Amino acid sequence: MTGEYFVLDGAKALASPTLPGQTLDLKITRSGKELIQWNSFDDKGENWFNASYNLKDLECLSSSDEEISDTLKDILKQLSILNPMAFETKGSYEFSTQLDFDRQFGLGTSSTLIHNLSLWAKINAFELLEKTFGGSGYDLACANAKSPILFHIEKDAPKWESVNFNPPFHDKLYLLYLGKKQNSRDGIKRYKEKTKPSAALINEISNISKAFCEISKQDEFDKLIIAHEEIISKTLELPKVKDVYFKDFPVKAKSLGAWGGDFILLSHTGSWKELKTYTQKLGMENLFPYKSLVQ
């Protein structure tokens, strides 16, 4: 919700778990070949990825996508380093993941995978994240949260607390999928290439994040959106999403996560129909009331 990128330098970020998620199932067959067999299913039940690995050395024997299988191999390798007993049982490990959301939405396919695997292997999820995808870990904290959180990094360790983010005007907040799935690692790289933010700027972002939880009026909330967008836009030297898509439409817009894609937050005092009609003209069909996706 807030604090994107600056959370890497200690700013407090407001984040919230989504209602749809991802499950992980495992069946171990003690007889037969010593393999790891992996199948991933999307929200429609379609198998979007599968692979098999030799249990002993994690050599990939087959896969439907080489890049994804290499990434998964690295995750399994790091997991086995963090817990050498994870694959102690000889046999076939049949992993299966199931998404509740369109996998293009970027609602946490990677973070929920890291969280679920870490629970099974009884390892520190943040250590596994650091050795694989990297990032601040706010999304990993959300994977186990039951309510919105304020997240920050303190002395290289993740810290977070539950907060009450439930604005009385939530029925005027919407989430819109831009249809351009972004790789957050690319956004992080761009951010790190810029000048390291000052302590004053970090504090300003933290104050905006905390203010999000305290605002009771939509016009004040909108001012926070504008202030936050100005800071990120200036830092990344990227245009604000409002200027790109809604320059002549009465709505406040805020990027979420990796700028330029995935979801954005819209604050609109007008009707749902009016907003839906406008976003459809932009070719964007996936508009959701805020509370239909977020806890």
Residue 63, CB-side half-sphere exposure with 13 Å CA sphere:
16
Q: Which of 155, 153, 123 is nearest to 141 (CA)?
A: 153
Tokens of 287: 């508009």
pLDDT (tens digit per residue) in 167-208: 999 999 999 999 876 566 666 776 777 668 889 999 999 999
Q: How far apart are CA 126 and CA 146, in angstroms?
A: 18
Per 3-state DSSP, the chain is made up of helix, strand and coil in percentages (nearest 5) of: 40, 25, 40
Residue 192, class by beta-carbon neighbours within 10 Å (0-12 exposed, 13-18 middle, 19+ buried)? exposed
pLDDT (tens digit per residue) in 120-142: 999 999 999 999 998 899 999 99
Band (52; pLDDT cuts 50, 70, 90): very high
pLDDT (tens digit per residue) in 11-47: 999 999 999 999 999 999 987 789 999 999 999 999 9
Percent of the chain's residues with pLDDT above 90: 83
Q: Look at residue 197 in the predicted model and tell me its pLDDT.
A: 86
The pLDDT mean for the chain works out to 93
Q: Look at residue 193 in the predicted model and tell me its pLDDT.
A: 72
Average pLDDT over residues 141-159: 95
- Quickly list DSSP for 199-249: HHHHHHHHHHHHHHTT--SHHHHHHHHHHHHHHHHHHHT---HHHHH-TTS
Q: Look at residue 215 in the predicted model and tell me its pLDDT.
A: 93
Band (259; pLDDT cuts 50, 70, 90): confident
Among 68-77, 84-93, 189-198, 246-255, the least confident range: 189-198
- Tell me the β-bridge partners of 288: 175
Average pLDDT over residues 40-64: 97
Sorted by where each starts, the structural domains of the chain and their CATH numbers stand as: 6-12+167-293 (3.30.70.890), 22-131 (no CATH)
Average pLDDT over residues 77-88: 97
Q: How far apart are CA 174 and CA 193, in angstroms?
A: 32
Q: Look at residue 261 in the predicted model and tell me its pLDDT.
A: 66
Q: How far apart are CA 121 and CA 284, in angstroms?
A: 40
Model pTM? 0.91
Q: Which strands, in side-by-side order, build the sheet including 287-289? A: 252-255, 263-267, 173-177, 287-289
Band (238; pLDDT cuts 50, 70, 90): confident
Band (73; pLDDT cuts 50, 70, 90): very high
Q: Look at residue 210 in the predicted model and tell me its pLDDT.
A: 97
